[in-house]
């Protein structure tokens, strides 16, 4: 059973507060606060200790870490010395904060990253087949002219025929670096040294 609790402005708690439901703090807590519901700290609230809950909204003073499973919201007038961590974090104009901020559970970013990673691989796979099929490259884009050359003059046809080859050669040159194996790793030993070593092994 959960019910809302209040720590009034004239009340000081020395110790840990935990439980279910929401909690409103107007007074002072010297200890940690751990709730399963919302935690609200009013302007007069002072908390010396860590605070955790679903949504934590702060108008008062906290010296300790704030961690919310949903959100941490620092409103105007809040003074926090400690770290914030929650999927959603809001710091209003007029709030003071000293500490690190971490937005956990970045589901949106994770979704964005994966598609880009998978999109890159297909490109690499497509590029290789194109390079291997070079000989057959002539028919594709600019090649169609050969069958219907009649309208064109011989010189034009020759140029048209030559151009694809040039283009193919350029394409081959451009793609060669991709297919090349990594450069061989050469030993940094002198000629004589290597020879004598081998000889030594054989003997």
Partner 1 sequence: MAGTVIGAGLNIEGDITSDEEVVVQGNLRGKLTTSDAVSIGPGSVVQADVAGQSVSIAGQVIGDVTAPERVDIQAGGRLVGDVKAARFTIADGASFKGAVDMEV
List residues near partner 1 by CB under 8 A.
Answer: 1-21, 23, 27, 31
- The residue (of 2 and 196) whose beta carbon lies closer to partner 1 is 2
- The residue (of 3 and 155) whose beta carbon lies closer to partner 1 is 3
| Least distance (Å) between residue 34 CB and partner 1 | 9
H/E stretch holding 6: strand 5-7
**Which of 6, 36, 44 has its CA nearest to residue 23?**
6
| Least distance (Å) between residue 71 CB and partner 1 | 21
- The residue (of 35 and 97) whose beta carbon lies closer to partner 1 is 35
- The residue (of 37 and 77) whose beta carbon lies closer to partner 1 is 37
Rounded Cα gap, residues 104 and 110, in angstroms: 12
Rounded Cα gap, residues 137 and 168, in angstroms: 7
| Least distance (Å) between residue 36 CB and partner 1 | 8
| Least distance (Å) between residue 76 CB and partner 1 | 25
Token output for 173: 């040159």
- The residue (of 19 and 145) whose beta carbon lies closer to partner 1 is 19
- The residue (of 52 and 85) whose beta carbon lies closer to partner 1 is 52
**Which of 38, 39, 34, 31 has its CA nearest to residue 13?**
31
| Least distance (Å) between residue 83 CB and partner 1 | 23
With contact defined as beta carbons under 8 Å apart, do 92 and 78 qualify? Answer: yes
| Least distance (Å) between residue 28 CB and partner 1 | 9
Rounded Cα gap, residues 27 and 34, in angstroms: 16
With contact defined as beta carbons under 8 Å apart, do 92 and 109 qualify? Answer: no
With contact defined as beta carbons under 8 Å apart, do 32 and 17 qualify? Answer: yes
H/E stretch holding 29: strand 28-30
Task: Kindly report the length of the chain.
Answer: 203
């Amino acid at each position: 059973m959960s019910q809302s609790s209040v720590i009034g402005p004239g009340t000081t708690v020395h110790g840990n507060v935990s439980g279910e439901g929401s909690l409103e703090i107007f007074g002072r807590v010297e200890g940690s606060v751990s709730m399963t519901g919302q935690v609200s700290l009013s302007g007069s609230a002072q908390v010396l200790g860590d605070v955790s809950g679903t949504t934590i909204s702060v108008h008062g003073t906290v010296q300790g870490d704030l961690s919310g499973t949903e959100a941490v919201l620092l409103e105007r007038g809040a003074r926090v010395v400690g770290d914030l961590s929650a999927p959603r974090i809001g710091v209003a104009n007029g709030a003071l904060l000293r500490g690190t901020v971490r937005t956990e559970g970045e589901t949106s970013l994770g979704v964005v990253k994966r598609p880009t990673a998978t999109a890159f691989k297909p490109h690499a796979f497509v590029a290789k087949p194109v390079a291997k099929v070079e000989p057959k490259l002539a028919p594709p884009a600019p090649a169609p002219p050969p069958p219907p050359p009649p309208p064109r003059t011989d010189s034009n046809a020759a140029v048209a025929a030559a151009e694809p080859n040039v283009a193919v050669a350029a394409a081959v040159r451009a793609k060669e670096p991709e297919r090349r194996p990594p450069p061989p790793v050469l030993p940094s030993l002198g000629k004589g040294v290597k020879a004598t070593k081998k000889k030594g092994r054989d003997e």
